[in-house]
């Protein structure tokens, strides 16, 4: 469905140091630096897959999505989406895709969302009967029946985002790019959006690429993740396998009926946290069984669970690792 080979996107950015003198100088002589937003990544995505793009801010996620949706011309490399070259922006291609951006909106600000829906119906040439069916499905799934007749500016962020999503799906895109669709939403609304996105993917078999800062989004939606860092691909595979690789240790969470000496806990494994009757231990995977048995026999345990490290931690560790590698590589070799 999607094929990316050696994608590069470099920008020329004008740079100048702060201060009036530098500002005046830059009027005459400008210095440019090249920003390598994406620096040679390759991957394939099958029809109907749900893939999460992960990476710190400025990693190149949004740039990649924009190249895939035809908004940016790649500096180098080959990209095809369902047989189309995105940058040509052919009508047939544009009718198959959609990009939803959590931080930008396409809804007409002063008019009710229903007007934007109608406009999109005309732009995408959606037959009237199909439009009615789709829109009533969307209204039901997203529970926006009474929202779409209010002017957009009167809606809350969450309500607006639901209507944004509906506006984006009127033409039933086969490929959906979601750039932080849940940003700024409360936990309940995030969950609603996730459920809806998953249902859409399953119902229409749409291919889905998602970027998000909320790891819960990725964990709930994407069996496969692609990690991009500083424009380079640093991981492509299952989410579970990624966690295994970066943080093979497990976490044993103990709820204790009475206070326990810190030394007794640390004899079992590394203590991550220990407060008000709950202790979290980090232990090697192969030691989990032994630790659990010992904990149950030696400590006043009320409840015990074994978990993976939180995704946020896994990610920050992964990014820290690659940063350390980069710094090491760029340091001059002592003579």
Q: What is the secondary structure of 133-183 as a DSSP string?
A: HHHHHHHHHHT-TTTTTS-GGGS-HHHHHHHHHHHHHTT--SEEEEESTTT
Nearer to other proteins, 93 or 196 (CB): 93
H or E stretch covering 254: strand 250-256
Task: Select from 88, 89, 203, 245 the one that contacts other proteins (CB under 8 A).
Answer: 89
Among candidate residues 194, 184, 197, 191, the one with its CA nearest the CA of residue 158? 184
- 331 binds other proteins per the rule CB under 8 A: no
Among candidate residues 294, 211, 189, the one with its CA nearest the CA of residue 252? 294
CA distance 196 to 292: 38
Nearer to other proteins, 1 or 108 (CB): 108
CA distance 286 to 267: 16
- 207 binds other proteins per the rule CB under 8 A: no
- 179 binds other proteins per the rule CB under 8 A: yes
- 95 binds other proteins per the rule CB under 8 A: yes
Nearer to other proteins, 30 or 73 (CB): 73
Instruction: Tokens for 259, please give them.
Output: 């206070």
- Do residues 67 and 38 lie in contact, with contact meaning Cβ atoms separated by under 8 Å? yes
Task: Dump strand ranges (E) for 16-132.
Answer: 31-45, 50-54, 76-81, 97-101
Instruction: Tokens for 69, please give them.
Output: 């949706």
Vertex 57, ends 247 and 246: CA angle to 5°? 10
- 108 binds other proteins per the rule CB under 8 A: yes
Q: Report in angstroms how near the CB of residue 220 gets to other proteins at its nearest.
A: 23
Which residues face 232 on adjacent strands? 229
Q: Report in angstroms how near the CB of residue 194 gets to other proteins at its nearest.
A: 21
- 75 binds other proteins per the rule CB under 8 A: no
CA atoms within 13 A on the CB side of 25: 9
Name which of residues 115 to 154 contact other proteins (CB under 8 A).
Answer: 115, 118-119, 122-125
Number of residues that bind other proteins (CB under 8 A): 32
Q: Report in angstroms how near the CB of residue 186 gets to other proteins at its nearest.
A: 22
Cβ neighbour number for residue 90 with a 10 Å cutoff:
13
Q: Report in angstroms how near the CB of residue 62 gets to other proteins at its nearest.
A: 4
- 59 binds other proteins per the rule CB under 8 A: no
Task: Select from 1, 111, 272, 287 the one that contacts other proteins (CB under 8 A).
Answer: 111
- 73 binds other proteins per the rule CB under 8 A: yes
- 62 binds other proteins per the rule CB under 8 A: yes
**CA pseudo-torsion sign 292, 295, 296, 301:** negative
Q: Report in angstroms how near the CB of residue 59 gets to other proteins at its nearest.
A: 11
- 27 binds other proteins per the rule CB under 8 A: no
Task: Select from 76, 78, 110, 307 the one that contacts other proteins (CB under 8 A).
Answer: 110
Q: Report in angstroms how near the CB of residue 90 gets to other proteins at its nearest.
A: 8
Q: Rule CB under 8 A: which residues touch other proteins?
A: 11, 62, 66, 69-73, 89, 91-92, 94-95, 97-99, 101, 103-106, 108, 110-111, 115, 118-119, 122-125, 179
């Amino acid at each position: 469905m999607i094929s990316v080979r050696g994608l590069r996107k470099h920008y020329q950015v004008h740079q100048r140091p702060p201060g009036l003198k530098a500002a005046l100088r830059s009027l005459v002589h400008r210095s440019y630096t090249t920003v390598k937003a994406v620096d040679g990544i390759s991957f394939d995505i099958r029809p109907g897959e749900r893939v999460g793009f992960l990476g710190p801010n400025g990693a190149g996620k949004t740039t990649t999505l924009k190249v895939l949706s035809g908004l940016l011309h790649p500096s180098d490399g080959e990209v095809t989406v369902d047989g189309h070259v995105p940058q040509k922006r052919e009508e047939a291609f544009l009718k198959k895709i959609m990009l939803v951006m959590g931080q930008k909106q396409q809804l007409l600000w002063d008019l009710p969302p229903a007007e934007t829906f109608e406009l999109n119906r005309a732009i995408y040439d959606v037959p009237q009967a199909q439009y009615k069916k789709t829109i009533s499905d969307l209204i039901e799934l997203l529970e926006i029946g009474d929202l779409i007749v209010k002017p957009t500016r009167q809606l809350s962020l969450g309500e607006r985002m639901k209507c944004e999503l509906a506006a984006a799906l009127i033409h039933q895109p086969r490929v959906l790019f979601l750039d932080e669709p849940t940003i700024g939403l409360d936990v309940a609304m995030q969950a609603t959006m996730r459920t809806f996105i998953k249902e859409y993917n399953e119902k229409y078999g749409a291919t889905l690429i998602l970027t998000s800062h909320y790891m819960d989004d990725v964990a709930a939606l994407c069996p496969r993740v692609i990690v991009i860092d500083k424009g380079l691909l640093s991981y492509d595979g299952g989410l579970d396998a990624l966690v295994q690789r970066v943080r093979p240790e497990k976490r044993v969470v103990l709820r204790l009926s009475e206070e326990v000496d810190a030394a007794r806990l640390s004899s079992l494994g590394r203590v991550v946290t220990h407060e008000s009757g709950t202790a979290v231990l980090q232990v090697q995977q192969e030691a989990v069984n032994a630790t659990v048995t010992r904990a149950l026999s030696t400590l006043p345990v009320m409840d015990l669970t074994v978990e993976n490290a939180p995704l946020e931690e896994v990610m920050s560790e992964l990014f820290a690792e690659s940063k350390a590698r980069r710094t090491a590589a760029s340091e001059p070799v002592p003579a």
